[in-house]
Amino acid sequence: MSKSQYLLSRKTIGLLGLFVIVLCISLLANKIPRIATKILHLPSEIQRIVKFNLSPNIAVTSRDKISIQPLTEMRATSATGVLRVNPTNPRYFTDGGGKAVYLTGSHTWSNLQDSGGSPFPPKFDYATYLGFLQKNNHNFFRLWTWETSGPWIQTTVKNYWFYPIPYQRIGSDKALDGEPKFDLTQFNQAYFDRLRERVKEAGNRGIYVSVMLFNGWSVDNGKGNFHSSNPWRTHPFNKANNINGIDGDFNGDNNGEEIHTLVSPAVTAIQDAYVRKVIDTVNDFDNVLYEISNESNKDSQDWQYHMTTYIKNYERRKPKQHPVGMTAFDELKSNSPLFDSPADWISPIGDIDERPVASGKKVILADTDHLCGICGNNPQWVWKSFTNGENPIFMDAYDNAFVLGSTLINQAPPDSLNYSPWVVLRRYLGYTLTYANRMNLAAMTPQGDLASTGYCLANPASSGAEYLVYAPSGGRTIVDLSATKHELVAEWLNPSTGIVTSGIKTAGGGNRSFFPPFSGEAVLYIKDASPTYSQS
């Protein structure tokens, strides 16, 4: 047996032994799905060991004028065109100028409707929120809507309200919340004026907004095994709450899940009219996306497909056509209905720590909301998601105002704004936006086999090459530069400090070993050094 074969044998046996141990531990911890994923990844990890540890590589020591300075933020100051799926790299959007548009940011639950302990709750400080997003270099958020007047299912305080609601309340007859009943044929213009103003203000700061149209947490009396309150009680489509004779509870179980299906043409017609009103309100803005519904039930597929197609057909008559998205179905463990849908973008379920490689079938907004809920204590997932071709976003408890008086208080940290893992997570999202804007992202695809770490976003071209590599544990990082013939320059980002060390030079043509000048996780950016190359 040759020396290289012997080393390969030892490496392989050791790796297999390690996975057996991890498998046993995980079985005891009831983590079968994650372990199954690790087993599937085993062949590729063995291949990387062979490629990078048993093949020749050259250590990169050539340095020019070393520069050590903070990472300079890069972001668009305004939307420069309506987004559409990038035809050359459908993992991302484009604004029509040929440049890929990467979306990332934080969203929170009260950023459209105020919520709290009276029919007219304290106003959410929207300007401060937008400043918070800018400070963290974010360019996207979901604009949440709640269909009910309140409370919602996880609210332990019964005197809890959402304002404004899309429909007018008129007359002397009282709804179940003690206020006048809704007229489902008359819109509350205050809701749509606020919607328009908030989208406009975000656009003025270069921030894209996904306008949420419906919310699965507003119709179900037992979603997620939470039963603190029944949101259906105050829903406008509850027969006790409207003057129009609309009864959305067709089976009489005190639950309104049926209105997120096509079972009633009358209900769907009212919803279609509402969707038209939303589109009429914001169609002229470039920074708009639409989201059909947040986590509607598993039976809502046909209804969501209808709404997606309805938006696209209605906007064809309008000056602008915007992307339409769908998020994970509640209680459905498959993402197939999302990938098979007519939607332009999706937010699937999955494991936050094991981000899959985006194929480009859909633009993926990897949202912690659907991956793990109120979470994200290990911010490394941001870089893993980014280098795998996704657009990571974060469901943020923000100022904790929304979680007060709800079961969420047991999940969110006492001071969410200053909670250290989330401070880091928000900063990482902003760092990825900077690199997305520095790179020719339209030409880059996830190619984990080009780096010893398994996390690499790359354009391994002979000219104009770029590589963005994430090293979760830091240390020596080997990159396959065999496809690149030009001289290359490289830099290290220390994500824990935001400090960039640049001025590193190397040449392509084979495996190259890079050594970060600091300990811990690291980001390595390599690009063509040719002065004739310019990014689009």
Helix (H, G, I), strand (E, B) or coil at 512: strand
Q: How far apart are CA 387 and CA 24, in angstroms?
A: 30
Edge-to-edge order in the sheet of strand 522-528: 63-70, 499-507, 487-494, 522-528, 466-471, 456-459, 445-446
Cβ 507 vs Cβ 530: under 8 Å: no
Q: How far apart are CA 421 and CA 418, in angstroms?
A: 9
Q: What value, to the nearest 5°, has the Cα angle with vertex 58 and ends 53 and 60?
A: 120
pLDDT recorded at residue 54: 55
pLDDT recorded at residue 446: 98
pLDDT recorded at residue 8: 38
Query: pLDDT grade, residue 225 (50/70/90)?
Result: low
pLDDT recorded at residue 9: 45
> Residue 504: in which H helix or E strand, if any?
strand 499-507
Give pLDDT tens digits for 441-495.
999 999 999 999 999 999 999 999 999 999 999 999 999 999 998 899 999 999 9
Query: pLDDT grade, residue 80 (50/70/90)?
Result: confident
pLDDT recorded at residue 62: 62
What's the rounded mean pLDDT across residues 9-28?
Answer: 46
Determine the residue type at 76.
Answer: A
Query: pLDDT grade, residue 7 (50/70/90)?
Result: very low
Give pLDDT tens digits for 415-452.
999 999 999 999 999 999 999 999 999 999 999 999 99
Closest CA to 288 of 317, 320, 310, 319: 320
pLDDT recorded at residue 2: 43
Query: pLDDT grade, residue 217 (50/70/90)?
Result: very high
Helix (H, G, I), strand (E, B) or coil at 493: strand
pLDDT recorded at residue 407: 81
User: What number of other Cβ atoms are within 10 A of residue 16's Cβ?
Assistant: 12
Q: How far apart are CA 169 and CA 405, in angstroms?
A: 26
What's the rounded mean pLDDT across residues 84-105?
Answer: 94
What's the rounded mean pLDDT across residues 88-93?
Answer: 97
Is the pLDDT score of 23 beyond 90? Answer: no
Is the pLDDT score of 534 beyond 60? Answer: no
Across 349-388, b (16+ Cβ under 10 Å) vs e yields bbebebbbebebebbbbbbbbbbbebbbeebbbbbbbbbb
Cβ 363 vs Cβ 391: under 8 Å: yes
- Higher model confidence: residue 332 or residue 105? 105
Q: How far apart are CA 385 and CA 191, in angstroms?
A: 35
- Higher model confidence: residue 75 or residue 437? 437
Cβ 403 vs Cβ 373: under 8 Å: no
Beta-ladder partners of 512: 58, 479
pLDDT recorded at residue 52: 75
3-state class percentages of the chain: helix first, strand second, coil last, to nearest 5: 30, 25, 45
> What share of the chain in percent tops pLDDT 90?
76
Burial of 126 (0-12, 13-18, 19+ CB in 10 A): middle
pLDDT recorded at residue 76: 81
pLDDT recorded at residue 51: 67
Query: pLDDT grade, residue 129 (50/70/90)?
Result: very high
Is the pLDDT score of 390 beyond 60? Answer: yes
> Residue 261: in which H helix or E strand, if any?
none
User: What number of other Cβ atoms are within 10 A of residue 188's Cβ?
Assistant: 17
Helix (H, G, I), strand (E, B) or coil at 478: strand
Query: pLDDT grade, residue 379 (50/70/90)?
Result: very high
State how beta strands 63-70 and 445-446 pair: unpaired
Query: pLDDT grade, residue 130 (50/70/90)?
Result: very high
What's the rounded mean pLDDT across residues 196-225?
Answer: 92
Helix (H, G, I), strand (E, B) or coil at 403: coil
Is the pLDDT score of 19 beyond 70? Answer: no
**If you ran DSSP here, which 8-state letter would residue 451 be given?**
B
What's the rounded mean pLDDT across residues 3-13?
Answer: 42
For the chain, give the mean pLDDT: 89
User: How far, CA to CA in Å, does 9 sit from each of 6, 40, 45, 502?
Assistant: 5, 20, 14, 38
State how beta strands 391-395 and 445-446 pair: unpaired
Cβ 357 vs Cβ 448: under 8 Å: yes
Cα end-to-end span (Å), the chain: 51
Closest CA to 65 of 508, 521, 503, 507: 503
Q: Is the peptide bond before 164 cis (omega within 30 degrees of 0)?
A: yes
- Taking the mean position of all CA atoms in its chain, how far away is CA 327? 10
**If you ran DSSP here, which 8-state letter would residue 259 be given?**
G
Q: Which of 47-61, 271-285, 521-535 has the lowest mean pLDDT?
A: 47-61
Is the pLDDT score of 154 beyond 60? Answer: yes
Residue 498 in tokens: 């935001």
**If you ran DSSP here, which 8-state letter would residue 456 be given?**
E
pLDDT recorded at residue 78: 78
**If you ran DSSP here, which 8-state letter would residue 231 be given?**
G
